[in-house]
A and B are shown apart, each in its own frame.
Chain A
Amino acid sequence: MGSGTSTQHHFAFQNAEKAFKAAALIQRWYRRYMARLEMRRRCTWSIFQSIEYAGQQDQVKLHDFFSYLMDHFTPSSHNERDFLSRMFTEERLPQDSEMEGCRDYDCIEVPDSYMGPRLSFPLLPDHATALLEAFRLKQQLHARYVLNLLHETRKYLVQLPNINRVSTCYSEEITVCGDLHGQLDDLIFIFYKNGLPSPERAYVFNGDFVDRGKDSLEILMVLFAFMLVYPKEFHLNRGNHEDHMVNLRYGFTKEVMHKYKTHGKKILKVLQDVFCWLPLATLVDEKVLILHGGVSDKTDLELLSKLDRHKIVSAMRCKTRKENEKQAEKGKANQTGSAGKPSPWFLPQSHSLPSSPLRLGSHKAHKDSRSSSVPCSIPPNPQELSRQVRRSVDLELERCRQQAGFPVIKEKKEEPLLFSSEADSEAGELLQPTQEEWRQVVDILWSDPMAQEGCKANTVRGGGCYFGPNVTEQLLQKYNLQFLIRSHECKPEGYEFCHSRKVLTIFSASNYYEVGSNRGAYVKLGPALTPHIVQYQANKATHMLTMRQRISRVEESALRALRGKLFAHSSDLLGEFKKHDKDKTGLITLSDWAAAVESVLHLGLPWRMLRPQLVNSSTDNMLEYKSWLEDLAKEQLSHENIQSSLLETLYRNRSNLETIFRIIDSDHSGFISLDEFRQTWKLFSSHMKIDITDDCICDLARSIDFNKDGHIDINEFLEAFRLVEQSCSEGNASECPQATNANSGYSRPDAH
């Protein structure tokens, strides 16, 4: 049996060796699979980010457009003048006395049938908790209570300093949360997991409570309620989205008008004011500075503490007075100077910047060579301006008007209604921040950290700067601080340290881009202020999915958005493809495809890696580009009666168009007239050098007026361009239905 044993051992050894090799093979294969998954995840993230940044570029283009209007357009008819005056007339800031005395919500009747929460003031902790619970059960707070709460909030905020000082000796723990962006589920989750606010449990919410998500108003109500109930322990910082101009674009305005049809406008007005009264930063134990965006090399905490934060209404709106005219203005009554200068109420004063079309290189390219401050020349006085306004572009517009058959009303030359009255401008002067003050605030609300040393203008966002580790270090030393906590940027893990752990980004909106896209996080400051991070993902469905499935879902969403972008540039792409197809074979190589796509879209994405998902049909490494573009179009179009080339152009500019519409629609009715649409489109397309005949515009306008009553429902119009809506509700892991429903039963979007 001796030899038997040794044979057994021999076999055993061989088997062990085989098992070892088999295991190694499986592991090798599996690791490759996981690596590829990781790569897909990173690419998906890049897609979302680059599209988001490109969207922010749009905002800048919009500014360029209005600058252009300012400089070139002379209204020549009543209609046009009225239309423009809506955009350009100085909107009067409600006076403080008005706001304080404004208790007309008292007259708002609450019907007996109303089953939602009823608030009485002063608020008690139970009320705040009950409010949260009511929202969790999807109840809506009556407008009367909304206004009442906002009124009380305003009263309270007014007496807060710009920089809140908090000490850890009173409450045992401080929890800092980042962006919520209307995602109530995340807030509910945080309070559930971390505990409700209390004298022992302090909270700081670091801005961006609203926009994008669908429950922005409810979040505000809860946060304000807890702040009133626990004033010493509950703190809010302003974010860049606590800004009514930004809300016009990113969904909060729409949400409020949708939920409160009668009183929405009033609510928005009060909110505009409340946002301006939010503190700018929170300082914990004089050691940890919490603010929304970041800092710049010019950040001056003393100045920030002293300025009147209420004057900074919007980052997009800045009428400023010259620094050295501060003395002069006090004495002289009719000094027109720079403050009397008319300007669109939503335009930053620096409109006289050369409006360079920002080159959309890969967003990494944005971070190189730019000057470290946005130049801001002194704006001209009114007389100079009117001369500028009456430039010779009149002729061109005359031609357009005649072509379109617009009645040319012979008016005597009147002053274009671009100027606010003298009286207003005087009062206005005193309500304006200085250029420096405005800059300081925009810097802390809009800046982002970068890895390289230095401080550069944040051209991607159009405001604030990119600040390097040396800027952080400089600031921390100057004010004897330990580290910074900021938010403003979405991170896959919900948080990220940088600058040698001196800067912590905390982001609390989980699944921000898409279900499964990222975690949310909050940070607790323990003894000695050491940060302790807690992560979460507020969606039951994602926990049940494997990583593979999660990544697939998010990836599919990103790819849909990307395909939409490709469609929006179909004509340019075709032109570019043709350049690579000199022999007119109708085919190009996949390598050329990648090069062409990048040169048109400038998104800086790894196209070769994404190609298998974007190009389904290729043979022998060659692509029939025309049919590929046609396939893209078929996916995107949901309204066949709109002429497709025009559609593409509108589609590409829809984000800006939507914002323009909302500005025109000043009473937030959701409708604009056909005329207004035509005028807007004419101006916009001439500025963007889009080649479109007036006939097309008329046709388009008429076809969009679905019920033929001379008005366009903004929302319906925008529906025509919606991408496939993910109608996957929470918990439903099945595939999303495809887009083009011939019965035009497209689903309403929740928010942007």
Chain B
Amino acid sequence: MADDREREGTEIAVAEFHKKIKEAFEVFDHESNNTVDVREIGTIIRSLGCCPSEGELHDLIAEVEEEEPTGYIRYEKFLPVMTQVLLERRYRPIPEDILLRAFEVLDPAKRGFLSKEELIKYMTEEGEPFSQEEMEEMLSAAIDPESNSIHYKDYITMMVIDEN
């Protein structure tokens, strides 16, 4: 009995996931032929609530790509993989407090901020480095022009509010 209900619950969830995935996919399906440019897959996956790293993203793409990569991803291949990702709740978003701690690691002196140069250094040399474009975009919103630094606690709060 419980199994039946659970299965039904999963079926409903899957049906709902399918609708969400289809919607997100269609936003980028410019030619209305059930394909999207592979470069947009990251955006689609992330807008569905997942937060993969670049490495994880590449692995996912490899799963949904054609045998001979065409530069396009087909919906038929994308749907089952993405459904599974959502069912398994993979690549969960990062909670605010964890994010804060990450910034604090980069600020061992506990000043409450990072200088512009420090931010640039970490973001472009460590982890999965930013492109120049990504860096510039982050700086435009994050850096307080008067102090030339990022007060990360405020920054996080601002970004989180904006999301909601």
Known contacts A364-B32, A452-B31; decide if A33 and B126 are in contact (CB<8 Å). no
Contact of A23 with B122 at beta-carbon distance under 8 Å, contacts A46-B27, A607-B23 already known: yes
CA distance A547 to B141 in the complex (A): 8
Q: Is B71 an interface residue (CB 8 A)?
A: no
B90 on the A face (CB < 8 A): no
**Pick the contact of B102 from A25, A46, A606, A609 — CB < 8 Å?**
A25
In the complex the two chains form, is B30's CB within 8 Å of A26's CB?
no
A38-B122 Cα distance, complex, nearest whole Å: 24
Does B128 lie within 8 Å of A28, measured CB to CB? yes
Q: Which residue of chain A lies nearest to B101 when distances are taken between CB atoms in the complex? A: A22
The CA of A24 and the CA of B81, in the complex, are separated in Å by: 25
Interface class of chain A by DSSP: helix
In the bound complex, what is the Cα–Cα distance between A105 and B6 (angstroms)?
83
Is the Cβ of B94 less than 8 Å from the Cβ of A28? yes
Q: Is the CB of B46 within 8 A of A31?
A: yes
Tell me, yes or no, whether B47 is within 8 Å of chain A by CB. yes
**Interface stretch of the complex, out of B51-59, B62-70, B72-80:** B51-59
Interface size on B, residues (CB 8 A): 48
B89 within 8 A of A: no
| Contact between chains at A27 and B130 (CB < 8 Å) | yes
Contacts of B32 in A (CB 8 A): 364, 367, 451
Question: When each residue 8-28 of chain A gets 1 if its CB lies under 8 Å from chain B and 0 otherwise, what string results?
Answer: 000000010011111111111
A35 within 8 A of B: yes
A546 on interface, CB distance cutoff 8 Å: yes
In the complex, which residues of chain A have a beta carbon less than 8 angstroms from the beta carbon of B134? 30-31, 34
Find A606's partner among B24, B51, B126, B137 (CB 8 Å cutoff): B24
| A382-412 interface bits toward B, Cβ cutoff 8 Å, 1 = contact, 0 = none | 0000000000000000000000000000000
- Given A20-B126, A29-B94, A606-B24, A35 contacting B43 (CB threshold 8 A): yes
Which residue on chain B has the smallest CB distance to residue A42? Answer: B27
A118 contacts the other chain (Cβ, under 8 Å)? no
Q: How many A-B residue pairs have CB under 8 A?
A: 123
- A436 to B27 alpha-carbon distance, docked (Å): 38
Q: How far is the CB of B73 from chain A (nearest CB, A)?
A: 15
A517 to B51, CA, bound (A): 27
Q: Specify the chain A residue showing the minimal Cβ separation from B50.
A: A32
Contact B159 A19 (CB under 8 A): no
Residues of A20-62 whose CB lies within 8 A of B: 20-36, 38-39, 42-43, 46
Could you mark each residue 12-35 of chain B with 1 if its beta carbon is under 8 Å from any beta carbon of chain A, else 0? Answer: 000010011001101110111100
Please tell me if the beta carbons of B127 and A36 are within 8 angstroms of each other in the complex: no
Complex interface: chain B residues within 8 A of A23 (CB): 102, 106, 122-123, 126-127
In the complex, whether A687 has a CB less than 8 A from a CB of chain B is: no
Nearest chain A residue, comparing its CB with the CB of B156: A29
CB-based contact A19/B26 at 8 Å: no
Contact A608 B126 (CB under 8 A): no
Docked-complex contact B27 and A43, CB < 8 angstroms:
yes
Expressed in whole angstroms, the Cα–Cα distance for A123 and B141 within the complex equals: 50
- Decide if B1 is an interface residue (CB 8 Å cutoff): no
Q: Is the CB of A36 within 8 A of B46?
A: yes
Residues of A within 8 Å of B123, CB to CB, are 23, 26-27
Contacting residues of chain B (85-103) with chain A, CB-CB under 8 angstroms: 93-94, 98-99, 101-103
A-contact 0/1 string along B112-153, CB 8 Å cutoff: 000000000011001111100010011011000000000000
Contact of A548 with B141 at beta-carbon distance under 8 Å, contacts A31-B54, A36-B47 already known: yes
Could you say which residues of chain B place their CB within 8 Å of the CB of A22?
Answer: 101-103, 105-106, 122, 127
Q: Are A31 and B42 in contact (CB under 8 A)?
A: yes
Give every chain A residue within 8 A of B20 (Cβ-Cβ): 608
Is A546 touching B16 in the complex (CB atoms < 8 A)? no
Give the distance to chain A from B116, nearest Cβ to Cβ, in Å.
Answer: 15
The answer, yes or no, to whether A477 is at the interface (CB within 8 Å) is no
A362 to B47, CA, bound (A): 22
Cα distance A144–B16 in the bound complex, in angstroms: 65
A693 within 8 A of B: no
CB distance B23 to A606 under 8 Å?
yes
Q: Please name the residue on chain B nearest to A39 by beta carbon.
A: B47
Of A22, A26, A31, A364, the most chain B CB neighbours within 10 A belong to A26
- Kindly provide the distance from the CB of B13 to the nearest chain A CB, expressed in whole angstroms: 11
Chain A residues in 8 Å Cβ range of B3: none
Q: Does B4 contact A (CB under 8 A)?
A: no
**Shortest beta-carbon distance, A559 to chain B, in Å?**
15
Interface centre among A18, A25, A34 (most CB of B within 10 A): A25
Residue in contact with B127 in the complex, picked from A21, A34, A367, CB distance below 8 Å = A21
- In the complex, which of the residues B24, B101, B103, B162 contacts A609, with contact meaning CB atoms closer than 8 Å? B24
Determine whether the beta carbon of B141 is less than 8 Å from that of A19: no
| A546 CB contact (under 8 Å) in B19, B30, B99, B141 | B141
Q: What residues of B have a CB within 8 angstroms of the CB of A30 in the complex?
A: 134, 138
Closest-by-CB residue of B relative to A15 is B108
CB neighbours of B93 from chain A (8 A): 29, 32
With CB as the reference atom, state the residue of chain B lying closest to A612: B164
Is A77 interfacial (CB-CB < 8 Å)? no
CB < 8 Å neighbour of B106 from A19, A32, A33 = A19
1/0 per position for A297-338, CB-CB distance to B under 8 A?
000000000000000000000000000000000000000000
Find the B residue at minimum CB distance from A30.
B138
Would you list 18 pairs from A and B whose C-beta atoms are within 8 A, ordered by A residue? A18-B105, A19-B105, A21-B127, A22-B122, A23-B102, A24-B53, A28-B53, A30-B134, A35-B43, A35-B47, A39-B44, A451-B30, A451-B32, A452-B31, A591-B19, A608-B20, A609-B23, A609-B24
List 6 other contacts, CB 8 Å, given A27-B130, A608-B23: A20-B126, A21-B102, A21-B105, A29-B93, A451-B33, A546-B137
A residues with a Cβ closer than 8 A to B are 15, 18-36, 38-39, 42-43, 46, 364, 367, 451-452, 546-548, 552, 591, 594, 606-609
The 6 closest A-B pairs by CB, nearest first: A24-B127, A23-B127, A35-B46, A23-B126, A39-B47, A22-B105
